[in-house]
A and B are shown apart, each in its own frame.
Chain A
Amino acid sequence: MSTLTYPEPYKISAGALALLVHGVFFTLLYFGFSWQMQPPQGMVVDIWENLPQHEEPAPAAAEPARAEQPAPPRVEVKPAPARAEIDVPVKKKVKKKKKEEKDEVIAKLTPKQLAAQKAAYAKRLQQESEQQAREAERQAQAQAQAAATGRMVDEYVAKISAKIRRNIVAPPGVSSKIRAEFDVTLLPGGLVLESELTMTRSSGNNAYDSAVERAILKSQPLPLPPDAALFNRFRDLHLKFSPDQGN
C-alpha cells in the first residue's frame, strides 16, 4: 500500500549543519580557549631592611646630573664665551703675525678693507664659539649618561655587597675595625666564579675571612642590573667587608 521507506530530503543539509556545529565548537575551543599555562617568570625578591650604605654617593652624583638636564642652555653658554675669550687673543696674535706678513707683501690696506676683514674675523669667531657651545652640550649629555650608568653600577654594587653582608655570620668578638677585601669574578646571571674568588687583603681574623667567603658563595645569585650591557662593569668586582658596616 503506502511506501515503507519515506524520503528524507534533509539528509545532506542536516549532515552539513552537524559538521558546522562541530566546526564552530572546535574553532571556539582552539582560538578562544587556549589554556595558556605560561608559568609566571621566576621572581627573586630582595628585601632590604635599610638601603645599602654605598648608596650615599649615588644621590650626590645624581644631583649634578639632574641639574644639568633641565637647564642645559646655561651650562652650554657659560663655558663657551669664556673659552672664546681665551682663544681670541691667541688668534689675534696669529692674525697679527699674518697681518704683518701681509703688510710686508702688500701695501697698506684701505680702512674699508680693514673694516671688512674685521667683520669677517668677528663672524669666524662667532662660529667657533658656537661650535664650542655644541661640543660642550654633547659633553654634558655624555656626562649625564655616564652619571646615570655610574649611578646604576653604584647601586648594584651596593646591592651586591649588602646582600653578601646580610649573609655574613661574623664570629663573636671580632673587632669592628678590621677589613677584608675580595676579588670576585661574576658570571652572567649573578653566579660567582668560585675558582677566581680570591682574598686580596686579609682582615687578620681568619674566622672573619672565611665567614665572608662563605657569605659570598651563599649569596649567589648576586643581583645584577637588568641591562645586560652593564654586565662588563660587574665582571670583576673588588669588594671590601668590615664588621662595622653591616649587622
Chain B
Amino acid sequence: MEVTHDLSFVPLIQNASFLVQMVMGLLLLVSLMSWWYIFLKMFAIRQARNQSDAFEEAFWANPDLNRLYKEYLNDSDTAGSLERIFAAGYAEFVKLKKKPGVDNTDVMDGTRRAMRATYQREMDALESHLSFLATVGSVSPYVGLFGTVWGIMNAFRGLANVGQATLAHVAPGIAEALVATAMGLFAAIPAVVAYNRYAHDTVRLSSRFESFMEEFSNVLQRQP
C-alpha cells in the first residue's frame, strides 16, 4: 500500500474488496427501491387524500345518492377510495332493499359488510410497500455495518504483513469500509422517516374512511 493513497470517491469504491463491493451494490439497489416506493406512496397518499376531499364535498353537497352512484359508474377509473366504499355500500343497499321480506336491520348489516370489505381492500392498497420501507429502515444499517466490519478486518489483516505499522496503512482500508456504513445509513434514514410519515397518513385516512362509513350508514338508515 502506498502512503499517498488517493481517497477521492471513485477509487474508494473501486479499491474495496469484493464482498464490500457486493454489500455496496445491494445497498444501492435497496436504496433505489426504497426511494421509488417513497415517491410512489407520496403520490398515492396525496391522491387518495385529494379524492376523498373531493368526494366528501360532493357527498354532503347533494343528497341525491342515486346520482352520485351513477357518476361513479360513469367514470369508475378516476374514483377514489372513499367513492369506491360508498359505491359498494350503496349497491348492496339497493340490492337488499329490492328483495322482499328482508328486515331493515339485515339490510344495514349487509351494507356495512360490503363497505367494510371494500374498506379493507383500500387500506391494503394504501399500506402496500410500507413494510418494505420499514424493513429497509431497520436492516440496511446492519448490512452496511457488516460490509464495514469485513472491510476493516481486511485492512487490519493487510497490516499484519507490514513491519512498521502506521495510520497511513490502515486509513484507506477503513475509509473504504466506512463507505458501506454510509450507504446503509443513506438507505435507512429516508426509509424510516418515510415509513413513519406514511404510517401516520394511512392511519388518518383509515379513521376518515371509518367515520364516513358510520355517517353513510346513518344516512342510509334514514332512507325510506
Contacts and interface: CB of A to CB of B under 8 A. Distances in A.
B9 A18 contact: no
A94 B84 CA distance: 126
Given A2-B118, A22-B32, A37 B5 contact: yes
Given A29-B9, A35-B12, A18 B43 contact: no
A14 B5 contact: no
Contacts of B125: 6
A224 B113 CA distance: 95
SS class, residues of chain B in contact with chain A: helix
Contact of B9 (A11, A14, A17, A30): A30
Interface string A1-29: 11010111011011101110110010001
B121 interface: yes
A2 B9 contact: no
A39 B35 contact: no
B132 interface: no
B43 A10 contact: yes
A33 interface: yes
Nearest to A14: B39
Nearest to A35: B7
B179 to A, nearest CB: 10
Contacts of B9: 29-30, 33-35
A10 B118 contact: no
A90 to B, nearest CB: 69
Interface size class of A (residues with CB under 8 A): 20 to 34
B175 A19 contact: no
A247 interface: no
Nearest to B118: A2
Contact of B35 (A4, A10, A11, A18): A18
A36 interface: yes
Nearest to A21: B35
Contacts of B84: 2
Contact of B39 (A7, A10, A33): A10
A33 B114 CA distance: 57
B7 A37 contact: yes
Interface string A48-90: 0000000000000000000000000000000000000000000
Nearest to B125: A6
A21 B34 CA distance: 11
Nearest to A32: B9
B39 A13 contact: yes
Contacts of B36: 14-15, 18
A228 B88 CA distance: 91
Given A1-B88, A37-B7, A19 B32 contact: yes
Contacts of B87: 2
Contacts of A10: 39-40, 43-44, 47
B118 A18 contact: no
A2 B32 contact: no
B75 interface: no
B133 interface: no
B43 A14 contact: yes
Contacts of A37: 4-7
A2 B92 CA distance: 12
* Residue among A4, A15, A37 with most chain B CB within 10 A: A37
22 contacts: A1-B117, A2-B87, A2-B88, A6-B125, A8-B44, A10-B40, A10-B44, A11-B40, A14-B39, A14-B42, A15-B36, A15-B39, A17-B39, A18-B35, A18-B38, A34-B9, A35-B8, A35-B9, A35-B175, A36-B8, A37-B5, A39-B3
